[in-house]
């Protein structure tokens, strides 16, 4: 409905009302006029009955009879030569009216309206006397009193009607402002949200046009909502595919984004974490206060480490405007990088330098000691001198062995290029065992080989180092008359090296692959030399090729290393 329509409707309503009003007025006017005429007629009849043209005194009786009425004037008129004379009058207004009276006396039984000789608009009604035709009985009433009731009705009725019509228009206009106008405003807002031209509705507020626009807006919004849902799903997919933990906190501390990795880290599902305060994440006091500072704009975005479930994460805080429409509110985006390996590598490197210097210093000190004693002539006998030389060579060999292992490790760490070739593991093991025969015989250790053909695409140097170290350890940490069993299982892709040696206590098992880690076996074994790097090299080679090495041991009974390729 348009504003124009509202006004038009009000006008039509008023016109109908006017027509009804005037019909009522007309009816009222006619009825009251008729009743007045009847009254005049009956007055004239009464007067005519009282008056007798042959007895003029009866005229006085007529004047007396009607003298009380202020509304009517009853006159007895005589026609004379050249005019009319009022003989008797209820209002005592006796004057000659000349020919003026001709109008009513000439129109007997009809109502005549004319100006009186006093200048008033009057309605006249005359009848001829039955007894004497020269006499007339005339009843007069002022025009205003004849129409007074109707006029009052018209005046007051018009006022009431004007008030009613005005109220109706005001009511209609207010009703329009209360209903259609807000509806139009809302639809215009929706059009804006839906990216449609707002002036589509034009200046009008036609309900049909508004309804059409609502239809259009709702289908446009439907499309937009679907687009948004797709976008949301896309964003979620990207966030969830990230290997880093990711979350966003709004300006008021609510979690507004939470990816899958973050869920795993904090043991909270996305559903449980979203729109909760970020303090629910138990990442330590430091984390909370850094986020708080970032939200308050107190701190620059400096990365820091936190520990969660035994892993180290680097937290990167980035300030952002959130909610996006409020540039004054500062939110924060947090990215968690898993730096566990990086940090332990740094530690390993630091430890390595400390350990390497220590391990090299010990034999070097001993070499220098023997050489100084020799130089200073402290050893006097040949046997003493020979022993000193023997010890010096032994320590130097130890140093060489250590440097060689350190070199191997360094090469592996620097990503020494792999030369892959088809290596048949069983024959490689046989050849290694053959090379170690002197050592095996010296320690009276027997070897049981259960070997089947086992092909592996690998770097020959690397895999040779793995088995030579394992077999060397199986000899070193074995008992006299002990046994070594080596088995290859080509089908299940594993190789085991077992010994019946001293075994490894439970508490050392998890650490023997660390660099320079050596178990103190001095109580059970004498003179077992080692660098503590053999197993670390094996572990490194396995990582490089994607193999898996594990150890099982019963202290005092023996150890088994299983290599899965
Ligand atoms: P090392 O040069 O001392 O042999 P490794 O890295 O090869 O260094 O071994 C680390 C430690 O693991 C050794 O000191 C030893 O105590 C233990 N170990 C390795 N292999 C065996 C085995 N077959 N039996 C018992 N202990 C072993």
C-alpha–C-alpha distance, residues 152 and 154, integer Å: 5
547 alpha carbon – ligand 1 mean position (Å)? 20
Q: What is the pTM of this model?
A: 0.49
For 368-396, what is each residue's pLDDT tens digit?
999 999 999 999 899 999 999 999 999 99
Whole-number pLDDT of residue 206: 65
Higher pLDDT, 145 or 64: 64
Rounded average pLDDT over 17-23: 84
Bin 195: left if φ > 0, else alpha if -120 < ψ < 50, else beta.
left
For 46-84, what is each residue's pLDDT tens digit?
998 999 888 888 988 998 999 888 788 899 988 877 778
428 alpha carbon – ligand 1 mean position (Å)? 22
C-alpha–C-alpha distance, residues 57 and 59, integer Å: 5
Instruction: Give the helix ranges, DSSP H, for 421-505.
Output: 425-435, 437-442, 460-476
Whole-number pLDDT of residue 488: 97
- Three-point CA angle 215, 218, 219, nearest 5°: 90
Whole-number pLDDT of residue 324: 65
C-alpha–C-alpha distance, residues 115 and 131, integer Å: 30
Token pair 């040949």 in the structure block, residue:
382
Confirm or reject: Cβ of 408 under 6 Å from ligand 1.
Answer: no
Is 90 exceeded by the pLDDT of residue 202? no
Confirm or reject: Cβ of 519 under 6 Å from ligand 1.
Answer: yes
Q: Which of 400, 474, 504, 515 to mutate to test the pocket of ligand 1 (most atoms within 8 A of CB)?
A: 504
DSSP letters, 345-399, are HHHHHHHHHHHHHHHHHHHHHHHHHHHHHHHTT---SHHHHHHHHHHHHHHHHHH
Is 70 exceeded by the pLDDT of residue 338? yes
C-alpha–C-alpha distance, residues 463 and 421, integer Å: 11
Q: What percent of the chain stands above pLDDT 90?
A: 46
Confirm or reject: Cβ of 32 under 6 Å from ligand 1.
Answer: no
Whole-number pLDDT of residue 295: 87
539 alpha carbon – ligand 1 mean position (Å)? 13
Rounded average pLDDT over 434-441: 95
Confirm or reject: Cβ of 495 under 6 Å from ligand 1.
Answer: no
Instruction: Say which residues have a Cβ less than 8 Å from residue 433's Cβ, sequence separation at least 6.
Output: 440, 447, 449, 471, 486
Rounded average pLDDT over 157-182: 82
415 alpha carbon – ligand 1 mean position (Å)? 25
CA 186 to chain centre: 21
Q: Which range, of 12-16, 362-366, 368-372, 444-448, averages the lowest pLDDT?
A: 12-16
Confirm or reject: Cβ of 474 under 6 Å from ligand 1.
Answer: yes
C-alpha–C-alpha distance, residues 161 and 14, integer Å: 9
For 489-539, what is each residue's pLDDT tens digit?
999 999 999 999 999 999 999 999 998 899 988 878 877 888 899 999 999
**Between β-strands 121-128 and 483-489, what pairing exists: parallel, antiparallel or unpaired?**
unpaired
Whole-number pLDDT of residue 183: 82
**Percent helix, strand, coil in the chain (nearest 5)?**
50, 20, 25
513 alpha carbon – ligand 1 mean position (Å)? 9
420 alpha carbon – ligand 1 mean position (Å)? 28
The answer to whether 210 touches 187, Cβ cutoff 8 Å, is yes
Q: What percent of the chain stands above pLDDT 70?
A: 93
- In degrees and rounded to multiples of 5, residue 493 shows phi and psi of 55, 50
Which residue's alpha carbon is at the smallest distance from atom 20 of ligand 1? 473
Whole-number pLDDT of residue 118: 75
Relative to the CA of 478, which ligand 1 atom is closest? 24
**Between β-strands 446-450 and 483-489, what pairing exists: parallel, antiparallel or unpaired?**
parallel
Q: Which of 505, 521, 530, 539 to mutate to test the pocket of ligand 1 (most atoms within 8 A of CB)?
A: 530
Band (23; pLDDT cuts 50, 70, 90) = confident
Which pair of tokens denotes residue 431?
């050849």
Confirm or reject: Cβ of 532 under 6 Å from ligand 1.
Answer: yes
C-alpha–C-alpha distance, residues 243 and 338, integer Å: 9
Confirm or reject: Cβ of 551 under 6 Å from ligand 1.
Answer: no
Whole-number pLDDT of residue 534: 95
368 alpha carbon – ligand 1 mean position (Å)? 28
402 alpha carbon – ligand 1 mean position (Å)? 14
Band (283; pLDDT cuts 50, 70, 90) = confident
Is 60 exceeded by the pLDDT of residue 172? yes
Whole-number pLDDT of residue 537: 95
Higher pLDDT, 397 or 115: 397
Relative to the CA of 501, which ligand 1 atom is closest? 24
Sign for the CA dihedral angle at 58, 61, 66, 67 comes to positive
Band (98; pLDDT cuts 50, 70, 90) = low
- Three-point CA angle 163, 169, 173, nearest 5°: 145
Confirm or reject: Cβ of 475 under 6 Å from ligand 1.
Answer: no
543 alpha carbon – ligand 1 mean position (Å)? 19
Whole-number pLDDT of residue 100: 63
Confirm or reject: Cβ of 521 under 6 Å from ligand 1.
Answer: yes
- Three-point CA angle 45, 116, 28, nearest 5°: 60
Instruction: Say which residues have a Cβ less than 8 Å from residue 54's Cβ, sequence separation at least 6.
Output: 131, 132
- In degrees and rounded to multiples of 5, residue 338 shows phi and psi of -80, 110
For 205-264, what is each residue's pLDDT tens digit?
567 777 787 888 888 888 889 999 999 899 999 999 999 999 999 888 899 999 999 999
Rounded average pLDDT over 393-408: 91
Confirm or reject: Cβ of 104 under 6 Å from ligand 1.
Answer: no
For 25-51, what is each residue's pLDDT tens digit?
888 888 888 888 898 899 999 998 999
Confirm or reject: Cβ of 535 under 6 Å from ligand 1.
Answer: yes
512 alpha carbon – ligand 1 mean position (Å)? 7
254-280 burial, b at 16+ Cβ within 10 Å, e below that, comes to bbbbbbbbbbebbebebeebeeeebee
Confirm or reject: Cβ of 194 under 6 Å from ligand 1.
Answer: no
Exposed, middle or buried: residue 456 (CB in 10 Å: 0-12, 13-18, 19+)?
buried
Q: Which of 477, 542, 554, 558 to mutate to test the pocket of ligand 1 (most atoms within 8 A of CB)?
A: 477
363 alpha carbon – ligand 1 mean position (Å)? 20
Rounded average pLDDT over 351-369: 88
Rounded average pLDDT over 403-425: 89
Whole-number pLDDT of residue 237: 94
Bin 558: left if φ > 0, else alpha if -120 < ψ < 50, else beta.
left
Q: Which of 151-155, 198-202, 415-419, 550-554 has the highest mean pLDDT?
A: 550-554
């Amino acid at each position: 409905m348009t504003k124009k329509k509202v006004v038009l409707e009000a006008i039509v309503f008023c016109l109908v009302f006017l027509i009804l009003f005037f019909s009522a007025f007309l009816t009222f006017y006619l009825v009251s006029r008729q009743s007045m005429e009847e009254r005049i007629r009956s007055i004239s009849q009464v007067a005519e009955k009282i008056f007798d043209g042959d007895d003029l005194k009866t005229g006085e009786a007529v004047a007396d009879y009607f003298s009380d009425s202020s509304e009517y004037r009853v006159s007895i008129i005589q026609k004379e030569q050249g005019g009319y004379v009022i003989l008797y009058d209820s209002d005592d207004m006796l004057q000659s009216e000349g020919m003026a009276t001709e109008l009513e006396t000439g129109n007997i039984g009809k109502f005549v309206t004319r100006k009186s000789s006093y200048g008033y608009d009057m309605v006249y009604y005359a009848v001829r006397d039955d007894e004497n035709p020269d006499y007339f009985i005339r009843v007069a009433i002022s025009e205003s009193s004849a129409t007074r009731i109707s006029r009052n009705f018209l005046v007051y009725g018009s006022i009431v009607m004007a008030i009613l019509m005005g109220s109706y228009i005001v009511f209609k206009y207010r009703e329009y402002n209360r209903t259609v106008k807000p509806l139009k405003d809302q639809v215009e807002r929706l059009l804006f949200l839906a990216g449609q031209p707002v002036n589509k509705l034009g200046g009008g507020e036609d309900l049909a046009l508004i309804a059409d626009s609502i239809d259009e807006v709702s289908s446009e919004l439907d499309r937009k909502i679907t687009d948004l849902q797709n976008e949301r799903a896309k964003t979620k997919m990207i966030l969830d595919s990230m290997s880093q933990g990711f979350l966003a906190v709004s300006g008021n501390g609510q979690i507004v984004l939470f990816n899958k990795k973050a869920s795993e880290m904090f043991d909270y599902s996305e559903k449980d974490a979203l729109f909760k305060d970020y303090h629910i994440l138990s990442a330590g006091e430091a984390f909370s206060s850094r986020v708080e500072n970032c939200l308050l704009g107190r701190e620059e975005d400096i990365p820091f480490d936190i520990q969660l479930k035994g892993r180290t994460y680097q937290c990167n805080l980035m300030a952002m405007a959130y909610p996006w429409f409020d540039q004054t509110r500062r939110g924060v985006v947090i990215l968690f990088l898993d730096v566990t390996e990086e940090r332990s590598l740094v530690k390993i490197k630091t430890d390595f330098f400390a350990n390497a210097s220590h391990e090299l210093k010990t034999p070097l000190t001993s070499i220098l000691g023997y050489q100084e004693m020799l130089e200073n002539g402290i050893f006097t006998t040949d046997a003493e001198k020979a022993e000193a030389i023997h010890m010096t060579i032994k320590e130097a060999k130890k140093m060489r062995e250590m440097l060689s292992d350190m070199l191997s490790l360094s090469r592996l760490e620097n990503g020494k290029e792999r030369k892959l070739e088809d290596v048949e593991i069983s024959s490689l093991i046989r050849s290694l065992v053959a090379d170690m025969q002197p050592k095996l015989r010296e320690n009276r250790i027997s070897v049981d080989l259960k070997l089947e053909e086992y092909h592996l695409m690998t770097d020959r140097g690397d895999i040779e180092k793995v088995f030579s170290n394992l077999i060397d350890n199986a000899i070193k940490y074995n008992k006299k008359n002990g046994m070594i069993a080596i088995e290859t299982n080509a089908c299940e892709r594993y190789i085991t090296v077992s010994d019946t040696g001293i075994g490894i206590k439970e508490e050392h098992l998890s650490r023997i692959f660390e660099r320079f880690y050596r178990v103190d076996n001095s109580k059970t074994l004498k003179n077992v030399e080692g660098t503590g790097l053999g197993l670390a090299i094996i572990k490194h080679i396995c990582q490089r090729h994607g193999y898996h090495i594990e150890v099982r041991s019963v202290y005092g009974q023996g150890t088994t290393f299983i290599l899965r390729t």
